Every structure is written in C-alpha cells, then in structure tokens.
Amino acid sequence: MEDLNPVSNLWRLIRTGATFQRTGALDYAMRQFGAPGSLRITAKVLMWPVQWLGERGDPAQPPVVRAITALGPSYIKFGQILSTRPDVTGPELSRELKILQDKLPPFPMDAARREVERELGAPVEALFIEFSQPVAAASIAQVHRARRADTGEEVAVKIRRPGIARAFDRDIQAFYFVARTIELLAPKARRLKPTQVIAHFHGVVKQELDFRLEASAAAEFGANVEKDEGFRIPQVIWPLSSETVLTSQWVSGTQMGDLEGLRASGIDMKAMGARVVQVFLNHALRDGYFHADMHQGNLKVGPDGDLIALDFGIMGRIDAYTRRVFAEIVYGFLRQNYRRVAEVHFEAGYVPPDRDIDEFAQALRTVAEPIFGQDASRISMAKLLAHLFDVTERFGMETQTQLILLQRTMVVVEGVGRSLDPHMNMWQVARPVVERYIRDNLGPRAVARDLAETVRILSRFGPLLPRMAEAALIRTNNPVEDEDDPQARRRSRRRGRAAWALAGMAMGAAIALTSVWLAQAL
C-alpha cells in the first residue's frame, strides 16, 4: 500500500535529487527524459544547496549509474528494469544503464545464516555440510555454494537480503511520488507514462521478492523444457526453499558474458548465438511461457556445451491466440507480405476497423524495407518490432502488454546473440522456429487439434446439454408472459435464440465427436 505521508516522500525525493545533483546525473537524466529547460534549471537551483545530503557514489562510473548505485538496491533494480525500456529512457541512457550488473557488496555471513535458520527451521550446519562465502550478490539476494547434509548433493542457496522487502516498500512510495511530480510539472513527459512505469516495476519486484513464486516458475518452466536438447535449468530443492531462501541444484559452467572463456572452452560462438535466440523463440511460441530476463548474467554454458538458464524471478506468459498472432506477424515480415501482416492486425482487433487496411499495409512496408535492405549483421528483429509498435500506435492500436514484454525480451536476447556472433542474421536464425510453429499451428493438424479441444470442452457439459436444450425449447413453445408486452416479446425472442444455440451446440458436439471417431477409425 502506498504511503501517503508527504513529509517522508518529500525527504526521499530530496535525498534522491541531492544524490543525482552531487554525482552530476540530474541534468543529464532530465535531458534524456525530455524535461523542459525551465524545469531542469529549477531542479538544479533547488538541489544545489542540499547536494551535501546526497551520496557521493563511485566517480569511475557514468553519472546516472553512479547515482543509482549509491542510492541502493531498490534504485539498482529499477535501473536494471529501465535499461530494457529504451522507449522510456532513450537509447543512450538505456545503454548506460546496462552497466548495472548483479555485482553488489554481499551482506554479512552472520545475517545469511540467521535467515536460513529462521526460514528453514534449523541451523546451517544441520542442513549443509559445506556452506561457502557468497559467490554472487545482486540487488535482491546473494548466492552461496553449499552441499546438502542428507544427500551430499552440491546446491546453490539463494538468500534474500534482510530488510530488503521493507526497503522496497519504502522506496516504491518515493518512486510513485516522483512519477506524480514529473507528470504534474512536466506535461511533455506524460507520454512516457511514468506512473505506469513505476506500477510495472512495483509488480515485477513484488514477484521477485517471494522466492516461492520463483520456485514455482522454475518448476513449470523446467517441465516445459525437460526434453529440449542442449538446454537445461537447475532443479529446485523444495524442502530447502521458502519465501526468502531458494535452494536449487548447483550448475557449473562458463558465464555467457565471459567471451574469452567460451572461446577457450571450444564453444562454437556462431552456433551458440543462434541457439540463444532460437531457444527463446521456441519457448515463447511453443509453450507461451518464457524466461523474460535472459541477459548474460542469467545464462551459462555447461562443460557439455548445454545452454543453462538461471534466475526465474521474471517470466513472460502469452496465450495461444496471441502466440499465433505474433507468429503470423513475424512470418508475414519474413515473406515480406505486408498485406497479410496488416490483415492479422485487423483480425486480432489490434487496429480499429475504421482504419484503412491498405494504408496500414503501406506503413508496414516503410517499417520493414529499410531494415531488410541493410547488411545481414545489422538486420534486427527487435528494431523491427519496436518500429512496428510505433506505427500501430499511430493507427490507434492500444498497448498490448503481452507483446511489449515479448519485444523487450527480444531486445535483450538479440543483444546476447550478437555479442557471440556480431554478424548474425536474425531473420535466418528465427525463420526455422517461426516456420515450424506456423506449420504446426495453422495447417490441417492444427484444425483437427482445435476441433478436438472444442469437443473436449463441450464434453464437460455433455450431460447438461440435452436437458438445457429441452427446457429452453419448452419455454419457447409455451410462453407465459403477455405477448402484448414489448419486453416480454424480447425475452421470448432471446429464449428462442438461446434454444437454437443450445440445440446447435448439441448437434455440433455430436458431429464433432463423430468426426473425431471416424478420423481415428480411418
């Protein structure tokens, strides 16, 4: 719940502004966010006398990164999320924010041990025969390498920073206060929807703070990818996991960001770059459930060459219909069939029906042709999707949250792939995954599968359908209301339509069941 205390929020705002002024980040950040000159001057005049209240930060870092790092974990996590939103921050600031990595000072071992004992109900020595110093420290948690006392299995123990939940609750109130202040004082910045950005951040962090949700996400994701060759994730150890402690298998490997280490281990960089992109697209299209934070820090390459994903605090989910729409859009661009891409947008209701479809198709051509005309190493699916959303917004398309998350993750994944193979042709890499999905989901087999699913759903109501149809037909043929009453006549007509609909459902179910039976028999 938001804290409505204006005094505490004002103090946090002053401390934040003072830190940004002291580190030299205030004017630069406001320019990137499009604040008017008068507001920038006012902010500097107000913050200059109180800048001594702010943190110094690390002078070796860029100004905004320096300020965010100095302000603590909440701000660092916010900066990490903003780094995936160039539409909000601008490309230059977005690149700088990518510097923010999970390399924070760890919290003391005594605090880690107390958290384990409090959450798991036993001292660390009773649960683990080995328990290392922190091997990684992030904005929300740190990881220890350990060995289970009962089985001897080597595990990773992720422990939430003590007090971090309270700190996030406190800081998020200040973020909302700042967002509302920006919307009030800088009307031009309202197009960036700062309050909605904070609300998105709030939702993401709330989910990340509860490790039970992450464990559940990892289990679901693991079940989906269990048979995927060359890709794996660590299994969760449920008896040693809780809200603030998450224990999983320890996985050895080379960090995806260690390019020299990958080359030294004999990894085919070109093939690995393609695999990262194809794995993501396959999960998104096939399962509708994908890792939405696939940056280099969350990826390893195992000794056997397998791609290993870690950290499942941020996951994306898209329904079957949205997956089909997304695949048809990408496939249409692959074939440069802009008319079909336009039709898909209209069929899905993304673009209002009163807009001109030919004009929209022409606008789509202006998005794609310049990108397809570039050198293969510069062809970017993420760039095309970003331009696509700009065009659709001009034609009245409302924000599609599922597609935006997909596009943001695509930006990150594409960046990882290009770090391994700078000359990667994104369209050639994506084509087999998209074409396989189209073949499996838009052909005769897909029709039969959809029909079988319809029959399965209707079968749940099978015992009820005959009685419902009979009752509706009886009511239709034996009206009891005064037929001179217009409302009564309308009710009677509605019942008649309902009766025919029920009868049609029953007949459709019978025909569908017969069709499936015949198909199996033949």
Q: Terminus-to-terminus CA distance in the chain, angstroms?
A: 61
- Residue 156: closest CA among 255, 291, 246: 246
Residue given tokens 């659709």 in the structure block:
392
**Catalytic entry in 293, 375, 421, 450:** 293
**DSSP 8-state class, residue 108:** P
Planar angle of CA 349, 282, 405, nearest 5 degrees = 50
Spatial neighbors of 320 by CB under 8 A, at least 6 apart, are 288
Long-range contacts at 143-146 (CB < 8 A, ≥ 24 apart): 144/112, 145/250, 146/247
Q: How far apart are CA 202 and CA 173, in angstroms?
A: 10
d(CA 411, CA 414): 5
Position 252: which residue type? S
Q: What is the largest CA-CA distance in the chain?
A: 89
Determine the Cα–Cα distance for residues 254 and 349; give it in Å rounded to an integer.
45
Torsion of Cα atoms, 82 then 87 then 88 then 89, to 10°: 70
Distance from C-alpha of 230 to C-alpha of 170, rounded to nearest angstrom: 43
User: Phi and psi for 135 in degrees, rounded to 5?
Assistant: -100, -15
The secondary element (H helix, E strand) that includes residue 317 is strand 315-317
Tokens of 20: 């940004």
**Would you call 293 a catalytic residue per the annotation?**
yes
Positive or negative, the Cα torsion across 250, 251, 257, 263? positive
CA distance 78 to 204: 10
What Rg do the C-alpha atoms of the chain give, in angstroms? 28
Residue 363 structure tokens: 């606008």
By annotation, the residues acting in catalysis are: 293
